[in-house]
Structures are given as C-alpha cells and as structure tokens.
Structure 1
Amino acid sequence: MTDLPAVNDILQASQSLDLGATPAELHGGLCGWLAAGGADLPAWPARVLADDNLPTPEPGSALDRLREAVVAQLEDRDFAFELVLAAPAAPLQERTDALFDWCRAFLGGFGLAAGKRPALSEEGEEALQDLARLAQASSDEFDSADEDEDALAEIEEFVRVAVLLLHGDCVMGARHRQRLN
C-alpha cells in the first residue's frame, strides 16, 4: 500500500502551487471527492477546490502521492484508511481544528462529486449528518486536556469509519450493482 506523504510535505506542495488549503483541507476534500465517486484524476486539486485554474501536481510530487495513497486506502479491504490532520506533536487545539477543517473540506468534496442527492444507506445518511455536525464544531468546546485527547481519538476513529461507509455506499455499492446487471 502507498504511504501518505508527511503533513509538512503536503503543506509545502500546497504552498508551492498556491492552493490556499491546509493539508487537512486538501486530504478531506480529496477523500470526500473520491468517497462520493469522483474520478481519480491527476488534476484533482482543480476539481476538489472547484477552481479550474489550479495547476496539476507533478507526477511523484507529495500531492500526487497523496492522491495515490487515498485511492489505495479507500480500496483497501483491511480498512487501512488514515486521516491527514496536523502533525501528531501539534497542540491539541491545532489537531482538533484540523479535524473540523477536514470534515468541512470532506463535505465540500463529497458534495461536488455526489451532486444533490446521493443514494446512501440509512447508516450512510446518518454518517453524513454526523460529519456535517462535526464540520460546524469548534475546538473551543473542549475543556480538559486528558479527556479531550481521548475524545479527539474517538472522533477521528468515527470519521475514519464514516468515510469508509460513505465510500462503500457511493463507490463499492455502485460497482457491485453494475456487476449484478
């Protein structure tokens, strides 16, 4: 499986292309786009950030490797999907804000690829609504550091599973239905 590039490599690549997005926002948007059935394209930033004037990442660059890793992780049968947020050593508030930014970007990418009314299971609908609630959250709502570390880990795990569920509904389910017809 292709490893995700380091957060700092993604940040530098984003800055060098003037994308104006954090690593969490880029990863979230890309995951949303792909989970909803958006095409796996080398020029993904233009689609995910809804700006046709954005440059295409160079083959082998951090952003190209990010796309390849996300595609591989979403297709992995061992559920090895990981989130790109902030550096693990970053302060709790920074990591929490990155998670909420990731959720906002995921919803944007998902909406761009899925359109108005994607065919989702009941669980998929619930997961999408929960992600929307997280996208509206703020790190200001957290109090105690120890409890917050645990809460953040739980939320990250929930988001990871929600993404795989939505990808299953929109992409894997569609493929399965095509094979049946």
Structure 2
Amino acid sequence: MSETELPVWAEVAAAADRLELASSPAELHGALCGWLSAGGADAAGWLALVMADPALPAPQPGDALDRLRGTSAAQLGDPEFGFQLLLPEDGKPIDRAAALFAWCRAFLGGFGLALDGKPMSEEGQEALRDLANLGAAQIDEADDGSDEEALAEIEEYLRMAVLLLHADCALGMQHRQRLH
C-alpha cells in the first residue's frame, strides 16, 4: 500500500472496533480531515485530539488508523489533488450517500475543533456552508438508489471543497506564518 492510498474501509472499521469507538470509518476520516483542514496538528495522537477524548490511545505506528492519518495528511497536501474520501467501496448507493453525509457531519466537528477563530476567505466560508448543507441532508428511503452519477458529482465537489478549505485554513496559515 502506498503512502497516498487510504486503508480500506474494513481495516479502519476493525481498528475502530478494537478501540470500541462508536464512529464509522467515514466519520473517523471526516473528523480527521476536518481537523487537518482547519490547521489542526498532524500528530501521532490525533485520535484523542479529533475525538476530543484525551483517554483515547495513540494509534500504533503502521496500523490502519495511523496510516489513515498519514495518508490523509499526504493527500490533503498533494499538489495533484489526490485527496480521496473514505467511503464504503461497494454496496448500495443509498449506503454510500449515508456515509457521505456522515463524513460531512464529522468533518464539521473536526474542523470546528481546530479552527479556533482563524480567518477564512469568502470561498472557504461558502465551501463550509455547502458541507453543512450536505451534513444536514437526509436519505430518501423511497429512493431506488439509481442516481449514482449525482452521488459521484457530489463526492467530487466535496473533494474540491475540502481541498479549498485546507488551502484556505491550514496552508494559508502556514504561508502567513512564514511571512512574519
């Protein structure tokens, strides 16, 4: 597995189960990406920071949760825009949509924990509002799940919105600090 390839859903789910976390892989990844995008520390003990629970242990070096952190940080900083969302690979589109909405809600939580009053551009504020709208979306249980194309478009938009927020808050802050 390369440094730019996320661990698979089942690996992250198993690691979360071992730590008795009540979060899905999508929620863990969303919260981590929100934290990193707002300028939160890329630290080995990320789980305690992102989950706001100091009792959580740091993931073991090389395990799925440690690789999730390392790969997510690398993808967010990738100049080729290689950032990917951790969503279930197979299953019904309705399940992927539910995971995507949960990812957005968790992203907002992680982002809020790390933002700490940092200034944001108008584009960043708009992207954050869009993520909030996606996080508030509900699944239509009557939907037959045939709209995979729309889900793929939302996922692509979400990738770009996250990269914009990361550039605005995390990278912008680093660039501003270098100027001083």
Q: TM-score, normalised by structure 1?
A: 0.94
Which amino acid counterpart does residue 176 of structure 2 have in structure 1? R
Alignment partner, residue 114 of structure 1: 115
Alignment partner, residue 165 of structure 2: 166
Alignment partner, residue 62 of structure 2: 60
Cα-to-partner distance string for 1:30-89 (whole Å, 9 max, x where unaligned): 000000000011111111111111121111000000000001001110000000011x21
Alignment partner, residue 12 of structure 1: 14
Contact 1:19 1:54 in 2 (8 A): no
Which amino acid counterpart does residue 37 of structure 1 have in structure 2? G
Which amino acid counterpart does residue 134 of structure 1 have in structure 2? L
Measure, in 2, the Cα distance between the counterparts of 1:73 and 1:129: 23
Alignment partner, residue 155 of structure 1: 154
Deviation (angstroms), 1:144: 4.9
Q: Kindly indicate whether residue 134 of structure 2 is the aligned counterpart of residue 124 of structure 1.
A: no
Measure, in 1, the Cα distance between the counterparts of 2:131 and 2:121: 15
Which ranges of structure 1 fall in alignment gaps of 5 or more residues? none
Q: Which runs of at least 4 in structure 1 moved beyond 4 Å after TM superposition?
A: none
Q: Percent identity?
A: 56
Q: Kindly indicate whether residue 86 of structure 2 is the aligned counterpart of residue 89 of structure 1.
A: no
Measure, in 1, the Cα distance between the counterparts of 2:7 and 2:33: 15
Alignment partner, residue 40 of structure 1: 42
Give 3-state SS (helix, strand or coil) of 1:34's partner: helix
Which amino acid counterpart does residue 56 of structure 2 have in structure 1? L
Contact 2:98 2:139 in 1 (8 A): yes
Contact 2:92 2:145 in 1 (8 A): no
Match of 1:23 among 22, 25, 28: 25
Give 3-state SS (helix, strand or coil) of 2:140's partner: helix
Alignment partner, residue 100 of structure 1: 101
Which amino acid counterpart does residue 156 of structure 1 have in structure 2? E
**Matched residue count:** 178
Cα-to-partner distance string for 1:86-143 (whole Å, 9 max, x where unaligned): 1x2111111100000000000000000002x331111100000010011100121773
Which amino acid counterpart does residue 170 of structure 1 have in structure 2? C
Give RMSD over aligned pairs.
1.4
